[in-house]
Amino acid sequence: MWVADTLSRASVGKSKQEEEKEAFVIGLIKNMPISDKKCDIVRKETEKDEELKAVCEWIDEGCPKTKDPLLGRYESVKDELTFCDGIIFKGCQIVVLKSLRMDMLRKIHYAHQGMTKCCAKAKGLLYWPNMKNDIKNMVKHCEICQKYANSQCKEPMVLQEVAEGPWSCRA
């Protein structure tokens, strides 16, 4: 059963195209490695979030040219933006609002993989302006990753000590 979400005010008299889009989105969400609960959180937060609320209205208006710096961040992807089932999508990716980005970053990086792998993981699923940069910073500033990187750096120093063995000629 399809229950209209709180944000879709125009749940009556939907066009066939809109219905198809909704069916597509529902299928999309079902296939995503994101729980229903998480989707509900995204919906509720999207409703409250000033940035995404503005983006919703902008999509509604057909994404006209804007001087608003907030919307400007979405301008390069505006052709791919849709609002459906209470969630904003960029193509097949969920547009993540600010308050959930940190949480998503932690999830993306839970296995402490490097920047490339983390980006690849996020790319098919999530979107927000500057996501790649945020992932980069996350990996760069991760304490566990740094610790690991430092322990690898010690290796050459050990080798150097060995090299200063019998053949080192210091008069």
- Provide the binding-site residues for Zn ion, judged by CB under 5 A: 112, 142, 144-145
- In the complex with Zn ion, which residue's Cβ is closer, 98 or 112? 112
Q: How far is the CB of 157 from Zn ion (least distance, A)?
A: 23
Provide long-range contacts, Cβ within 8 A and 24+ apart, for 130-137: 130/73, 131/96, 131/101, 134/101, 134/105, 135/105, 135/108, 135/109
Q: How far is the CB of 144 from Zn ion (least distance, A)?
A: 5
- In the complex with Zn ion, which residue's Cβ is closer, 144 or 153? 144
Q: How far is the CB of 142 from Zn ion (least distance, A)?
A: 3
Two tokens, residue 73: 């961040």
- In the complex with Zn ion, which residue's Cβ is closer, 14 or 107? 107
Environment class of residue 82 by beta-carbon count within 10 Å: exposed (0-12), middle (13-18) or buried (19+)? middle
Q: How far is the CB of 114 from Zn ion (least distance, A)?
A: 9
Type of residue numbered 148? Y
- In the complex with Zn ion, which residue's Cβ is closer, 42 or 104? 104
DSSP for 78-126?
GGGEEEETTEEEETTEEEPPHHHHHHHHHHHTTT---HHHHHHHHHTTE
Q: How far is the CB of 38 from Zn ion (least distance, A)?
A: 22
- In the complex with Zn ion, which residue's Cβ is closer, 144 or 158? 144
